[in-house]
């Protein structure tokens, strides 16, 4: 590495060759989840929780060292969330938890709330399925440094002989991800207050013996104003001017840095991390990188495919020409992939050879670093295997089902459009004969103990499929009877048979497979097991019709057929990397379309196709958003345009801040859209009106995220408010979201009040 001429006191850290940006932390068998939940339940004490955590951290470091990494991230562990850890480190937990003395309990209260304290909001970590807690910054927030977590983990790692590189969320991203509250203006204005804390942190880490520190700045891969980029450059100029500090790696991930790259390269930071999987920054265009250590994310940190080593090595070779030095790395933290393929004993052998989970990716990093260092012959076998796997994958017939592909082409060529909204409205009104302000629910009813017991018994082989179906039907019958009794107008079967709204479908579609142990953290202690889409999607048989038919046989009222939309199925799966997402979406859409047609034939008058993830997949860069919206809306329309005008299509979206996707929601052209609105006071209706939305809409009239039962008059108030924005002919009455996480009693009370409120408002129309 070239000496840093701006700052003679700059550290002389040696560049490393192989690393990852972060690791999974829930434990290979979800040990952390169990320990944290036991602590919450009061059955595990803090010392035992800490011991579990320390054991997991050490195991992780040891496995990275054993795998041959020469720089190992530490402080990527978290009891709940690393953004919350950063807020705690900077003294920025909300005022309302300050009275809680115990630091762990204070931390968990900010994360989850308690009887008296509301938690921080949670939102998506960029375009991934991980959720972080949104720090609240008020004018009164006084930042103070508490480096105990990172220092504790660093000391422990160094004591084990680990070449530890502390990882901390950078100040720019921290502020950009936080939410201003209490009249606080734009948060970047407070960078100057954070600077002395980060300087202090640098000194502390250097004193503790850290050679390198990694500041994560993923916010810089989204569209940023010139002012924001300039602010980032100023911060890193100031941090690198410190007289005592470790060498600084600024890590970006989830896309290209674009204009932020020359700005960062112009500062004194020693290293820059680039995502060369999701991003395409060209090092050659930035002469200032010639003096830097470039940490090249060539191994995909967020998908599960085996790396094409040859092409990765090619990218690395290109970098070498225009940078100081190069390290091989993952494109982002391995937080987003399962621990290891070794935990998948039942996996099809061909599939296994195409995949790489966490452990396998670490090996790929080391193999590439070895080859880059000129010792290719030492790792030639890995290259041979990777090449063979990729050839076998390309030739596997499951990836190219000509029948399905030509059917898809035919359907697309036929236009896949519905008649005009007016025409449909008339046809449906006649057939459905619903009262004004029809009442309904979003689909799921409480997942009772009986349901969980039955699912566990089936998994363990204690009951057979027939017994399982019998028990689930009993649940359906209960839920239908309850809805009849409450007086709802449009019923659902309650979804007792669905473990998860994506996995349920993935398990029944060819082209997907479900892992046994492929857990990844979604938020806090919640883990999900995303299915893997590896081939062409074929629906072998109807997936939901028998449940619908049974429910409809119990009532004269319309029961909604209930499906998950193509975009959501992709968003919550690991997807193919050998074809465009748009193409995969259309294949899934075709399967869902076939299901809507079967539901219609089975007597469904209404079919709901949920797309709660539509907004999640939105690209971070505006320049890519329109293309995404075009194909995602197209896939939904493909899925929903196979039915007659008389069949009413509903959709459900779980959020109310539509922002860039508002036009797309109108574009879905669903006859009825249910959305979250209770927490945002029906503002969303105005937003929909502003884009000329004229279809049916069911703004949630009460918040299902809390156990509180809304009073009748409260719901009347919501409906009155809604009616100021939407004519009664278009308004539906429903809760905010599905009811599966709620208790049976509160659901019954809430729905009775909702139905009573609808009756009251109807009478006054």
* Binding positions for ligand GLN, rule: CB under 6 A: 442-444, 495, 501, 562, 610, 612, 652, 654, 737-738, 740
Please, which residue, 303 or 441, has the CB nearer to Zn ion?
A: 441
Instruction: Kindly report the number of other CB atoms within 10 A of residue 131's CB atom.
Output: 18
Reference 615, options 646, 561, 658; nearest CA is: 658
Query: Rounded to the nearest whole angstrom, what is the least distance from the CB of residue 685 to Zn ion in the complex?
Result: 17
Question: Binds 740, which of ligand GLN, Zn ion, none (CB < 5 to 8 A, cut-off by type)?
Answer: ligand GLN
Question: Does the footprint of Zn ion cover residue 299 (CB under 5 A)?
Answer: no
Residue 444 binds which entry of ligand GLN, Zn ion, none, with Cβ cut-offs from 5 to 8 Å by kind? ligand GLN
Cα distance between residue 619 and residue 126, in whole Å = 9
In angstroms, the CA 529 to CA 258 distance is: 33
- Given a contact cutoff of 8 angstroms between Cβ atoms, the answer to whether 213 and 164 are in contact is no
**Residue of minimal CB distance from ligand GLN?**
738
Residue 390 β-bridge partners: none
Q: Shortest approach of ligand GLN to residue 564 CB, angstroms?
A: 8
Of the candidates 99, 400, 681, 705, the residue annotated as catalytic is 705
**Toward ligand GLN, which CB reaches closer, 539 or 740?**
740
**Residue nearer to Zn ion on the CB measure, 19 or 564:** 564
Residue 243 CB, nearest approach to ligand GLN (Å): 52
Binding mask 575-614 for Zn ion (x = CB under 5 A): -------------------------------------x--
Among 210, 222, 299, 737, binds Zn ion (CB under 5 A): 737
Pairing of strands 212-216, 179-180: unpaired
Stretch near Zn ion under the rule CB under 5 A, chosen from 84-92, 272-280, 388-396, 733-741: 733-741
Closest distance to ligand GLN from the beta carbon of 56 (Å): 30
| 527 vs 654, beta carbon nearer Zn ion | 654
Which residues does residue 296 pair with via DSSP β-bridges, in sequence order? 274, 328
Distances (CA, A) of 238 to 194, 198, 241, 593: 11, 10, 5, 57
729 to 420, 492, 652, 720, 765: CA distances (angstroms): 17, 22, 19, 14, 11
Q: Shortest gap between Cβ of 413 and ligand GLN (angstroms)?
A: 32
Smaller CB separation from ligand GLN, 131 or 740: 740
Phi first, then psi, for residue 18 (nearest 5°) are: -145, 125
Asked if 673 and 665 count as a contact pair (C-beta separation under 8 A), the reply is yes
* Inter-residue contact 72 to 130 (CB < 8 Å): no
Give the residue, chosen from 239, 654, 677, 715, that forms a contact with Zn ion under the rule CB under 5 A.
654
Q: What are the angstrom distances between the C-alpha of 34 and each of 43, 256, 680, 746? A: 11, 37, 34, 28
- Residue 444 Cβ vs ligand GLN, minimum distance, rounded to whole Å: 3
The distance of closest approach from Cβ of residue 208 to Zn ion in the complex, given in angstroms and rounded to an integer, is 46
Write out the DSSP string of 505-563: HHTTEEEEE--SS--EEEETTEEE---EEEEEEEE-S-SSHHHHHHHHHT-SS-BEEEE
CB 533 within 8 A of CB 510: no
Binding at 610: pick from ligand GLN, Zn ion, none (beta carbon under 5-8 Å per type):
ligand GLN
| Nearest alpha carbon to residue 264 among 241, 296, 286, 242 | 286
What CA–CA distances, in Å, run from 736 to 669, 681, 687, 705? 20, 12, 17, 8
199 or 639: CB nearest Zn ion = 639
Nearest to ligand GLN of 63, 483 (CB atom): 483
Beta-strand ranges (E) seen in 611-658 are: 648-653
Q: How far is the CB of 23 from ligand GLN (least distance, A)?
A: 29
The helix, strand and coil proportions of the chain, stated in percent and rounded to the nearest 5, come to 50, 15, 40
Q: What per-residue string of b and e applies to 140-171 under the rule 16 or more CB within 10 Å gives b?
A: ebebebebebbbbbbebbeeeebbbbbbbbbb
400 assigned to active site: no
Among residues 501 and 661, whose Cβ is nearest to ligand GLN?
501
Catalytic residue IDs? 705
**For binding to Zn ion (CB under 5 A), which residues are involved?**
612, 654, 737
């Amino acid at each position: 590495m070239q000496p840093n001429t701006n700052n003679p006191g700059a550290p002389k850290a040696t560049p490393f060759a192989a690393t990852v940006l972060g690791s999974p932390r829930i434990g290979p068998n979800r040990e952390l989840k169990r320990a944290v939940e036991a602590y919450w339940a009061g059955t595990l004490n803090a010392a035992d929780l800490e011991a579990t955590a320390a054991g997991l951290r050490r195991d992780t470091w040891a496995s990275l060292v054993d795998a041959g990494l020469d720089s190992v991230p530490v402080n990527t562990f978290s009891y709940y969330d690393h953004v919350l850890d950063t807020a705690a480190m900077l003294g920025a937990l909300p005022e309302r938890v300050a009275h809680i003395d115990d630091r762990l309990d204070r931390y968990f209260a900010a994360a989850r709330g308690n009887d008296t304290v509301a938690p921080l909001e949670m939102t998506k970590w960029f375009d991934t399925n991980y959720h972080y807690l949104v720090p609240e910054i008020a004018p009164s927030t006084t930042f103070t440094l508490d480096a105990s977590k990172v220092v504790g983990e660093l000391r422990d790692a160094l004591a084990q002989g680990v070449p530890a590189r502390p990882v901390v969320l950078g100040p720019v991203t921290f502020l950009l991800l936080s939410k201003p509250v209490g009249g606080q203006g734009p948060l970047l204005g407070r960078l100057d207050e954070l600077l002395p804390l980060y300087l202090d942190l640098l000194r502390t880490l250097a004193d503790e013996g850290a050679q390198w520190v990694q500041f994560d700045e993923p916010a810089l891969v989204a569209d940023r104003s010139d002012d924001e980029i300039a602010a980032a450059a100023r911060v890193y100029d100031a941090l690198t001017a410190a007289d005592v500090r470790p060498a600084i790696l600024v890590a970006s991930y989830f896309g290209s840095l674009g204009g932020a790259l020359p700005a960062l390269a112009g500062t004194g930071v020693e290293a820059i991390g680039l995502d060369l999987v999701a991003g395409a920054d060209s090092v050659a265009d930035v002469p200032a990188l010639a003096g830097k250590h470039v940490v090249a994310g060539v191994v995909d940190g967020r998908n599960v495919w085996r790396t094409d080593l040859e092409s990765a090595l090619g990218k690395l070779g290109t970098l070498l020409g225009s940078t100081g030095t190069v390290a091989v790395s993952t494109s982002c933290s391995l937080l987003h992939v399962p621990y290891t393929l070794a935990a998948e004993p039942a996996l099809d052998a061909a599939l296994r050879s195409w995949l790489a989970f966490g452990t396998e990716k670490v090996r790929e990093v080391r193999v590439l670093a070895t080859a880059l260092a000129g010792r290719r012959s030492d790792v030639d076998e890995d290259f041979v295997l990777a090449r063979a796997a990729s050839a076998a994958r390309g030739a596997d017939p499951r990836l190219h089902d000509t029948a399905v592909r030509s059917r898809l082409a035919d359907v697309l060529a036929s236009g896949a459009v519905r008649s005009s909204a007016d025409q449909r409205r008339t046809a449906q009104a006649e057939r459905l004969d619903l009262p004004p302000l029809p009442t309904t629910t979003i689909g799921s009813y409480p997942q009772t103990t009986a349901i969980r017991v039955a699912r566990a018994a089936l998994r363990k082989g204690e009951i057979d499929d027939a017994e399982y179906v019998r028990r689930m039907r009993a649940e359906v019958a209960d839920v239908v009877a309850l809805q009849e009794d409450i007086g709802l107008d449009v019923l659902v079967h309650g979804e007792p048979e669905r473990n998860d709204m994506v996995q349920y479908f993935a398990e029944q579609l060819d082209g997907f497979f479900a892992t046994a142990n492929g857990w990844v953290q979604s938020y806090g202690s919640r883990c999900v097991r995303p299915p893997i889409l590896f081939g062409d999607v074929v629906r072998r048989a109807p997936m939901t019709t028998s449940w619908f038919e049974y429910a409809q046989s119990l009532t004269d009222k319309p029961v909604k057929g209930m499906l998950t939309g193509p975009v959501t199925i992709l968003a919550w799966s690991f997807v193919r990397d050998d074809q465009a997402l748009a193409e995969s979406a259309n294949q899934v859409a075709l399967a869902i379309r076939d299901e809507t047609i079967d539901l219609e034939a089975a007597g469904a008058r209404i079919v709901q196709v949920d797309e709660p993830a539509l907004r999640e997949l939105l690209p971070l860069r505006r320049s890519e958003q329109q293309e995404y919206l075009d194909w995602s809306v197209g896939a939904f329309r493909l899925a929903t345009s196979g039915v007659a005008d008389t069949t009413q299509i509903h959709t459900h979206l779980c959020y109310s801040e539509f922002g860039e996707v508002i036009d797309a929601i109108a574009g879905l052209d669903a006859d009825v859209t249910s959305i979250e609105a209770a927490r945002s006071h029906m503002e969303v209706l105005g937003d929909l009106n502003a884009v000329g939305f004229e279809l049916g809409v069911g703004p949630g009239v009460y918040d299902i995220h809390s156990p509180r039962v809304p009073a009748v008059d409260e719901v009347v108030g919501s409906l009155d408010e809604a009616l100021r924005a939407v004519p009664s002919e278009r308004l539906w009455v429903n809760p905010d979201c599905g009811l599966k996480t709620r208790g049976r009693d509160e659901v019954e009370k809430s729905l009775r009040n909702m139905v009573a409120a609808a009756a009251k408002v109807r009478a006054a129309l």
